[in-house]
Amino acid sequence: MSKFFFKRLQTAPLDQEVSSLDASDYFYRVALFMGWTPPKEGLLRWIYALWTLTTMWLGIVYLPLGLCLTYVKHFDRFTPTEFLTSLQVVINCIGNVIKTCVTYSQMWRFRRMNELISSLDQRCVTPSQRRIFHKMVTRSNLIVMLFLSTYLGFCFLNLFTSVFAGKAPWQLYNPFVDWQDGRWQLWIASILEYCVVSIGTMQELLSDTYAIVFISLFRCHLAILTDRIANLRQDAELSERENCEQLVACIQDHRTIIQCSQIIRPILSITIFAQFMLVGIDLGLAAISILFFPNTIWTIMANVSFIVAICTESFPFCMLCEHLIEDSVHVSNALFHSNWISAERRYKSAVLYFLHRAQQPIQFTAGSIFPISVQSNIAVAKFAFTIITIVNQMNLGEKFFSERSNGDINP
């Protein structure tokens, strides 16, 4: 059992066969659990469709709607810290609805990329190339597990810090169970909230990790391609025709990677743009909750876990995009410095064509407006300081306390 669950978390031996599909193994496992990879036919497909509808309804309909209904009906139940914690989830739900709908509707793109890029697996022949490939497979699956533990850790901390304080964690509107009716009702309502929020969180997990998994796959095959290019015309036993065939194979593989990047480009543009638009607000609300309102050590930990989760959503991928640009440059540099000067005219013509294509780096943009990079991520995150400054200058925290103490805020 442990071998089934944790097999991909350990680097496979070099003599063991692995594929590019293995890099997205844990991603597809989470997608299977969430109802995103239905069977192709049979009765099981219809049963599975019911589970898909259930998770979708809970994550993108009931969760944001239930939180908004709570503000309408039971706003007086919130303390400032509880309200900010709930508001963080509401704002994140807005991005989750957009990202989940886009990612789920474009799952075919991931399958298409797996089909295309699997043809590059047979190019990993040397021990150094297989070592790069095997480490990438392990690293991609580890990243999915790290995201899963970070996201669900935020839900877990909020659940227990709130229940031990005698309140439901997010006070999600529930017409059947009122958490104020007793201890058992509190636990039942809190666990139900935890399940709903966890479903929304895992939907966001899929929307956030697909980019890292596939960009890591691109980087791996670019690194292997760079190694192959550096070794072109190094074997004296090969004829010029065979050397030319190896160069053509490199050109074809580079074209395959470019084609895969074009397939994933539209979905990346939308999901990352939605994330960029909300990251500053989320970080600002979490910081305000810590800085301006009374907290226990547990609520501070819950807010810190939320900040870590929000930063995890965008920062690693932005960093990978910058590394991908560098990897593209390494391909063109390796080609330029390869042993082509003494080659035949046909070989040189192919090198010039390849060099022209390789000098165009693989770069993604968010919403076709600004490049996806660490600098862009920092720029949108700075909006959190703007929110904190506004709250501090206008003394909104003190006004909120005074209005509540005077009974001016009503449900």
The CA–CA distances, whole Å, from 44 to 32, 111, 152, 166, 204 equal 13, 21, 29, 42, 26
- Residue 15 within any structural domain of the chain: no
- Residue 235 within any structural domain of the chain: yes
Give the model's pLDDT for residue 5: 63
User: Whole-angstrom Cα distance, residue 282 to residue 278?
Assistant: 6
Give the model's pLDDT for residue 312: 77
- Residue 10 within any structural domain of the chain: no
- The structural domain count of the chain equals 1
At how many degrees (to 10) do helices 183-230 and 25-33 cross?
A: 150
- Residue 9 within any structural domain of the chain: no
Give the model's pLDDT for residue 159: 86
Give the model's pLDDT for residue 164: 83
Q: Which residues of 40-73 are buried (b: 16+ CB within 10 A; e: fewer)?
A: eeeeeeeebeeeeeebbebbbebbbebbeebbee
**Domain limits for position 206:** 26-406
Phi, psi angle pair for 371, to nearest 5°: -65, 145
DSSP string for 115-130:
HHHGGGGGG--SHHHH
One-letter amino acid at 399 equals K
DSSP string for 310-372:
HHHHHHHHHHHHHHHHHHHHHHHHHHHTSS-TTS-HHHHHHHHHHHHHHTS----EETTTEE-
- Residue 8 within any structural domain of the chain: no
- Residue 6 within any structural domain of the chain: no
Phi, psi angle pair for 317, to nearest 5°: -65, -40
- CA neighbor of 378 nearest in space, from 326, 320, 311: 311
Contact 222, 136 (CB under 8 A): no
Q: Dig out the tokens for 8 from the structure.
A: 């991909």
The CA–CA distances, whole Å, from 409 to 179, 294, 399 equal 22, 19, 11
Give the model's pLDDT for residue 391: 65
pLDDT (tens, 9 = 90+) of the chain, 411 residues, equals: 555 567 777 887 888 888 889 999 999 999 999 999 988 877 888 899 999 999 999 999 998 888 888 887 777 767 777 777 777 778 888 888 999 999 999 999 999 999 999 988 888 888 888 999 999 999 999 999 988 988 888 788 888 888 887 888 878 888 888 888 888 888 998 999 899 989 998 998 999 899 999 999 999 999 999 999 998 888 888 888 888 989 999 999 999 999 999 999 999 999 988 888 888 777 777 777 777 666 667 677 777 777 777 777 788 889 999 999 999 999 999 999 888 888 888 888 989 999 988 888 899 998 888 888 888 888 877 777 777 776 666 665 555 555 554 554 444
User: Whole-angstrom Cα distance, residue 410 to residue 396?
Assistant: 17
- Residue 374 within any structural domain of the chain: yes
Helix (H) or strand (E) holding 48: helix 43-57
- CA neighbor of 40 nearest in space, from 141, 111, 113: 111
Give the model's pLDDT for residue 409: 43
- Residue 184 within any structural domain of the chain: yes
